[in-house]
Chains A and B, each alone.
Chain A
């Protein structure tokens, strides 16, 4: 592989993949906490809507959702999404639905006495959530969110099918140019593996930090 291909396609491709991962992870986190908290809401209607959202977005395929947002939504709404944002929306919304289940599980795992203590101190529901439940639930979610973040990183490869110039798309172009399939795809797989390793490492550090705030030591 020549250095020109490397500089013009692969390196920018890695950067696009990193950006995609960060943006969709941010959206997925927001959706996960929003929908996850809604699933523990008092109102039955709110709980139903949140559950409906989770089932629909977990039920369909991320790639089909991405195509749908890219090809079907524009004529319905009259405006076109940039492929990159169609991808971020599809990945964020579907992985957010998986994340919502993690948040719900962690909130339910907080000892009931903690919530009752909040009631006894006449905290509002929002104060209880913000000051008591979330600080204890968040560290518990991190190992599962770590797995989900690696899944999300792998999911970003799908955008290459929409023609977004991520590292998978770069690999495709380089293969067309050089016909060296084994080399370029091995390099690409190693790049993803390194990125996944970085995610795992930083999530471990984050877990240690958030648990230290609660006075729990992670081995």
Chain B
């Protein structure tokens, strides 16, 4: 078995297309999981039992079941319900929804860590609820949760190949197409594997630095 550099060169155009799609999933998926996670976290803190209880059940269920099956669920069931999305959109929604249940836990921990005195001060100043959240609690919580959110972005990156399962043209799917066309399996798959390490490792170093910086 020999390593063929020309196969690597042939794969490069497809590879870059795949990288772009992977990054696109990552950015949109992160935004979705960050916003939806905040919604879940606020729902879990709601004073109403009818809100807290269903939100808790739904997030626990999503968190404890495989992303791949959720992906197939959305991909095959949404059209039955008359909602038609492209594979890329469905995949991004699935990954954002899945990770939102993780970010909800992060937000919850971050919000719980804001000292009780801050809540009391907001009450004493008779700030309305939305001002309490946007001006007092969330700005302090965000500092604590940024590194943990960063870790989930990296985890999300490593889950993007699952979208190949529904035919999204991200890095892995591009390598599969290349292999199917040229019968070269070694080079495209190895390039993709290394690409993940090359993106994930510096990113995790960055998160670690951020963690140290913000801990002070």
Residue from A76, A150, A161, A186 in contact with B165 in the complex, judged by beta carbons closer than 8 Å: A161
Digitize A194-210: 1 where CB-to-B-CB distance is under 8 Å, 0 elsewhere: 00110000000000000
Q: A186: nearest residue on chain B (CB-CB)?
A: B73
- Complex: A197 Cα to B66 Cα, angstroms: 13
Contacts of A160 in B (CB 8 A): 68
- Complex: A190 Cα to B154 Cα, angstroms: 27
Give the Cβ gap from A99 to chain B, nearest Cβ, in Å.
15
Contacts of B189 in A (CB 8 A): 64, 67-68, 71-72
- Whether the pair A181, B76 counts as a contact (CB closer than 8 A) is yes
- Whether the pair B69, A181 counts as a contact (CB closer than 8 A) is no
- Complex: A158 Cα to B160 Cα, angstroms: 12
- Whether the pair A185, B69 counts as a contact (CB closer than 8 A) is yes
Give the Cβ gap from A180 to chain B, nearest Cβ, in Å.
9
Interface residue? B36 (CB, 8 A): no
Residue from A76, A171, A181 in contact with B1 in the complex, judged by beta carbons closer than 8 Å: A76
Interface residue? A59 (CB, 8 A): yes
Contacts of A116 in B (CB 8 A): none
Mark out the residues of chain A between 62 and 77 whose CB falls within 8 Å of any chain B CB in the assembled complex: 62-65, 67-68, 71-72, 75-76
Contacts of B68 in A (CB 8 A): 157-158, 160-161, 168
Digitize A171-184: 1 where CB-to-B-CB distance is under 8 Å, 0 elsewhere: 11001000001100
Inter-chain CB contacts under 8 Å: number: 112
Mark out the residues of chain B between 189 and 216 whose CB falls within 8 Å of any chain A CB in the assembled complex: 189-190, 192-194, 196-197, 200-201, 204
Give the Cβ gap from B11 to chain A, nearest Cβ, in Å.
14
Residue from B69, B179, B197 in contact with A60 in the complex, judged by beta carbons closer than 8 Å: B197
- Whether the pair B65, A192 counts as a contact (CB closer than 8 A) is yes
By the criterion of a CB under 8 Å from any partner CB, how many residues of chain B are at the interface? 38
Residue from B69, B80, B196 in contact with A59 in the complex, judged by beta carbons closer than 8 Å: B196
- Whether the pair A55, B201 counts as a contact (CB closer than 8 A) is yes
Interface residue? B70 (CB, 8 A): yes
Knowing A55-B201, A68-B189, A168-B68, say if A63 contacts B76 (CB, 8 Å).
no
- Complex: A174 Cα to B201 Cα, angstroms: 40
Knowing A71-B179, A193-B64, say if A185 contacts B77 (CB, 8 Å).
yes
Knowing A64-B172, A72-B186, A181-B80, say if A189 contacts B65 (CB, 8 Å).
yes
Residue from A72, A75, A155, A172 in contact with B66 in the complex, judged by beta carbons closer than 8 Å: A155
Interface residue? A212 (CB, 8 A): no
- Whether the pair A76, B186 counts as a contact (CB closer than 8 A) is yes
- Complex: A172 Cα to B71 Cα, angstroms: 12
Contacts of A186 in B (CB 8 A): 73
Give the Cβ gap from B162 to chain A, nearest Cβ, in Å.
6
- Whether the pair B76, A61 counts as a contact (CB closer than 8 A) is no
Contacts of A189 in B (CB 8 A): 61, 65, 69-70, 73
Mark out the residues of chain B between 171 and 187 whose CB falls within 8 Å of any chain A CB in the assembled complex: 171-172, 176, 179, 185-186
Interface residue? A188 (CB, 8 A): yes
Q: B79: nearest residue on chain A (CB-CB)?
A: A181
Q: A73: nearest residue on chain B (CB-CB)?
A: B186
Contacts of A171 in B (CB 8 A): 69, 72
- Whether the pair A60, B158 counts as a contact (CB closer than 8 A) is yes
Knowing A59-B201, A63-B162, say if A192 contacts B69 (CB, 8 Å).
yes
Interface residue? A154 (CB, 8 A): yes
- Whether the pair A64, B161 counts as a contact (CB closer than 8 A) is yes
What are 8 A-B contacts defined by CB distance under 8 Å?
Answer: A60-B197, A64-B161, A75-B186, A156-B66, A168-B72, A181-B77, A182-B80, A196-B65
Given A60-B197, A185-B73, A188-B69; 12 other pairs, CB 8 A cutoff: A58-B200, A59-B197, A61-B159, A67-B176, A68-B193, A75-B186, A154-B66, A168-B68, A189-B61, A192-B64, A192-B65, A197-B64
